[in-house]
A and B are shown apart, each in its own frame.
Chain A
Amino acid sequence: MELGFLLGSLVKIIAIIAYLYGLMWLLARPSIWIKIAGLVGAFGIVQLALTDINGFRLLNNFDSGLLFQASAMTMVALGLNLIYGFNGQFSLGQWGFYGIGAYAAADITYRWINGDARGLLVLGLGALIGTLTLLGINKWLQRFRGIPVLSSFTLYLIGALITGAAAVYLGNQLNPLLTPLLGSVAEPGPLNSPVAQQVIYFLAVILAGIFAAQISFLFGLPVLTLGSDYFGIATLGFTIVVNTLMINSDTILPFPEMKGGRGMIGIPKLTTWFSAFFFMMAVIIIMRNLVHSSTGRSIVAVREDEIAAKAMGIDVAGAKLMSFVVGSFFAGIGGAVYAHYIGFLSPGTFNFLAGFNPLIIVVFGGLGSMTGTIAASFGWIFFLEGMLRVLLSQMGTEAPTWRFVLYPITLLLLMLIRPQGLFGSIEWGFLKGPEFITAPRQQPEPAHKSAI
């Protein structure tokens, strides 16, 4: 039994890595139809494995749970790789944004199924006018020269607070228009049909990402001017603050439904393989297109040498803020997907110690390697949460604790043998940049013979 399980788990891990490789290979084909077929096929294969056919399922509930966790972790870790691996800013705040995304999205859908549209309205309006306000202030500030960061931050903060208050006011005003259509848990209204709930869930995930991005913009603006070590400390502080707010969400924050330290229960479990796959692929594609563009190169240049980047005409502060905001957006989306898979949010999940998980994954897979991050996210969840947890629990009730001895040793060995991470800077198929040099170049005539 144990041997069978071990073999089965190993086969699963290898199959997933092969699956990812194949998907990336298909997406790298030039024809758009092969790309689409690759995406549909990759979705379909797993969906089929999750479907009950004559009482047989290739992947059971436990496996599908791991799959959802791994896709959520992929999004968070990719975001962190953008911030730390590509932009070189050591951040421990990723877990805080993950938590913000999880709670924000959970609040929207929880309220929605309980006949209250305020969550969606307030966050939706906040995302809309808040983003417009921040962009407007940004546009306006560009007309001035040499404004201190803290002054512009104060302006942004005031703008955000005003728009936040406006969003809450408008949301409360508009809520009565929608409530009759929502019904209650016992008698769901027309806007609470399963399809409508999925639509709201998709909206909630995106809004949670935008909300996390807005917070990260306000937080990153003053903090990103700090050097890398201080930035790390400040972001660690952020995660702790977010965690403390979660624990006290029903007392110092006006969210009784989040139930503070007891944990938020009753979140609708709306995450399906379709949504997990959809958001994960969206994050992967956005990330890949961003990294392999001129903006992506400027982000990497900031990591390599800030002063040289400035001298090359790169807005270093802007590049840092951009990668931080986009990374947090990914974390928010990942959190939202996780919340609707697990159905229960406890502040303990978002403890800052757990916040090191994405960091470990990013370093394990290879800083600056998207392939490494994706493969490490899946491998990590399936190995640690899947295989080891089950294997060790068969050896005794306390044995699963050994996981946290075994995996640091693995990490230690990896860092000794391969310090650049499992994948170094290797990228698979699609994740490689577009190649614009097709033919081997002819050696051109030296333009200045005298110089040689």
Chain B
Amino acid sequence: METSATSTSPTVLEIRGLTKFFGGLAAVRNFDLTLKHGELVGLIGPNGAGKTTVFNMITGLYVPTSGEIFFNGTNIVGLEPHEITRMGIARTFQNIRLFPNLTVLDNVRIAYHPHCGYTLSDGLLRTSRFNIKEKELTEQALDFLSIFQLDRIYNETAKNLPYGEQRRVEIARALACNPKLLLLDEPAAGMNPREIIELMDLIHFIRERFNLTILLIEHQMRVVMGICEWITVMDFGQVIARGTPKEIQENPLVIEAYLGKGVTHAA
């Protein structure tokens, strides 16, 4: 597998001592993670391990109890979610969150809002800048959709699409935010084996095409093992193992977390 990341690549994301308490429950405790430019890293763990909580803290939906998150050298703890997105972190959601009653095209065009290139007064007065930029933006959105083979259905209402297409729209929408770091939350959830293989190819493709760093939460071992270069394993809010897919597969702690005590060499 060709790897674009080397040890000399700049650090994109650095998380230090991230902790989140919900009442007395530690959802995430002392979480550390470093992502270098161009890496594709997996974050795995059993249900309730705190993976999505980490995502929510990176994207600003939750404010961490303690700890620091540096994105390209800037501490982003305490910023509003939209400010973090505008800095270049985009995400998808575990249970797809499209704008259900809008068309596929509008779903993607909304992501252009922070960098649409015209102001509200241009929009109200319908200046030529509005027309030019809006046309440009629509073309770009359609190009994006064509990458994902969605341009034929640009005028469909998002909620009427089949599951696999909704996933693709969500990834297209996240990429339209123009991110440097893409967070994918269980992109393979609910997909059949064939769709999973397609998805793995797609993730590889977008990383190369858009020069992205990707952090991926996944439940299905097959996906993470197949495409990730590094894997971090969480259980009960804590990191229990890090390493290459091969190292992780053989790690007794990971096997225990997934399959319970007393089972060895099960994976």
Contacts and interface: CB of A to CB of B under 8 A. Distances in A.
B111 interface: yes
Contact of B111 (A289, A312, A452): A312
Interface string A84-114: 0000000000000000000000000000000
B142 interface: yes
A308 to B, nearest CB: 4
Interface in B126-159: 126, 130-131, 134-135, 137-139, 142-143, 146-147, 149, 151-152, 154
Contact of B80 (A290, A297, A315, A447): A315
Contact of A313 (B86, B118, B130, B154): B86
Interface centre among B60, B113, B118 (most CB of A within 10 A): B113
B109 interface: yes
Given A290-B124, A307-B61, A437-B138, A314 B147 contact: no
Contacts of A286: 124
A313 B116 contact: no
B97 A313 contact: no
Contact of A447 (B93, B114, B209): B209
Contacts of B97: 305, 307-308, 311
A326 to B, nearest CB: 10
A145 B152 contact: no
A308 B101 CA distance: 13
A289 B81 contact: no
A436 B136 CA distance: 9
Contacts of B154: 437
B259 interface: no
B93 A441 contact: no
A451 interface: yes
B78 A311 contact: no
A448 B205 contact: yes
A393 interface: no
Nearest to A289: B124
Contacts of A310: 60-61, 80-82, 85
A436 B131 CA distance: 9
A445 to B, nearest CB: 9
B173 A312 contact: yes
Given A305-B97, A311-B59, A447 B147 contact: yes
B118 A301 contact: no
B142 A451 contact: no
B118 to A, nearest CB: 7
B17 interface: no
Contacts of B109: 294, 297
Contacts of B106: 297, 300
B201 A451 contact: yes
Interface in B202-244: 202, 205, 209
Contacts of A295: 113, 120, 123
Given A297-B113, A444-B151, A289 B118 contact: no
B110 A312 contact: yes
A314 B110 contact: yes
Interface in A275-301: 286, 289-290, 292-298, 300-301
Interface of B: 59-61, 78-82, 85-86, 90-91, 93, 97-102, 106, 109-114, 116, 118, 120, 122-126, 130-131, 134-135, 137-139, 142-143, 146-147, 149, 151-152, 154, 173-174, 177, 198, 201-202, 205, 209
26 contacts: A289-B123, A290-B123, A293-B122, A293-B123, A293-B124, A294-B112, A297-B113, A300-B102, A300-B106, A304-B101, A305-B98, A308-B93, A308-B98, A310-B60, A311-B59, A311-B61, A311-B85, A311-B97, A312-B85, A312-B173, A313-B85, A313-B114, A436-B134, A443-B151, A446-B146, A448-B202
Top 9 closest pairs, chain A to chain B, by CB: A293-B123, A304-B99, A313-B85, A310-B81, A308-B97, A294-B116, A313-B114, A436-B138, A448-B205
Given A289-B124, A312-B173, 14 more contacts: A289-B123, A294-B112, A294-B118, A297-B106, A297-B109, A298-B110, A305-B98, A310-B80, A310-B85, A311-B85, A313-B82, A437-B138, A441-B142, A447-B205
